[in-house]
Amino acid sequence: MSRFGKGGPPAHANGKAKGHNTAEEERAEEQQAQQDNGAAEADTAPATDATSGGERIFSYEEDGLAYTVRVFEEDGVVRAEVTVDQGSMDVNAVYFTSDDYSGPSANLGGPLNMNGGGSRFEGDRVSWEDAVAVSHPGLGPQGEDKPSFLSEGDSLTVDLSAASVEDVDLIGIRATSVNGGDSIKGVSGNPEEPEPEPEPEPEPEPDPDPDPDAATYPKVYFATGLNDDDSPAAGGAGILGPDEENEFGTPQLGPDTDGTFADYVEFLGEEFDDIAPGDIVTIIFYEDIETFTEAFRINAPEEGFTSAADMLAAYDDAVSGMSADGDYIAYFATQDIDEDAVPEDTGSDELDEISVM
Distance CA 277, CA 194 (A): 55
Write the Ramachandran bin of 122: left for phi over 0, alpha for psi from -120 to 50, otherwise beta.
left
Domain boundaries, the chain: 3-188, 219-355
Structure confidence at residue 264 (pLDDT)? 84
- Please give the residue that has the higher pLDDT: either 149 or 243: 149
335-345 pLDDT tens trace: 543 434 333 43
205-221 pLDDT tens trace: 765 555 555 677 777 87
Distance CA 191, CA 56 (A): 6
Q: Which DSSP state fits 348?
A: -
Q: Are strands 51-62 and 43-44 parallel, antiparallel or unpaired?
A: unpaired
Question: Between the CA atoms of 104, 109, 112 and 113, what dihedral angle is there, to the nearest 10 degrees?
Answer: 50
Distance CA 243, CA 109 (A): 89
277 within 8 A of 298, measured Cβ to Cβ: no
pLDDT band at 5 (very low <50, low <70, confident <90, very high): very low
Angle of CA points 59, 65, 66, to nearest 5°: 25
- Give 82-102 as a DSSP string: EEEEESEEEEEEEEEE-TT--
Whether residue 317 is predicted with pLDDT greater than 80 in this model: the reply is yes
Name which of 98-112, 200-214, 285-299 the model is least confident about: 200-214
Of the candidates 269, 253, 226, 239, the residue with the CA atom closest to the CA atom of residue 344:
239
217-260 pLDDT tens trace: 777 877 777 777 777 776 666 788 888 888 888 888 888 888 88
- The shares of helix, strand and coil residues in the chain, as percent rounded to the nearest 5, are 20, 35, 50
261-271 and 308-319 helices, crossing angle to 10°: 160
Three-class SS state of 233? coil
Indicate the average pLDDT of the chain: 76
Structure confidence at residue 62 (pLDDT)? 94
Distance CA 330, CA 342 (A): 17
Report CA 248 to chain centroid distance, whole Å. 52
Span 79-103, average pLDDT: 96
- Give 214-263 as a DSSP string: S---SEEEEES-B-TTSPBPS--EEEE-TTS--SS---B--TT----HHH
Q: What is the largest CA-CA distance in the chain?
A: 119
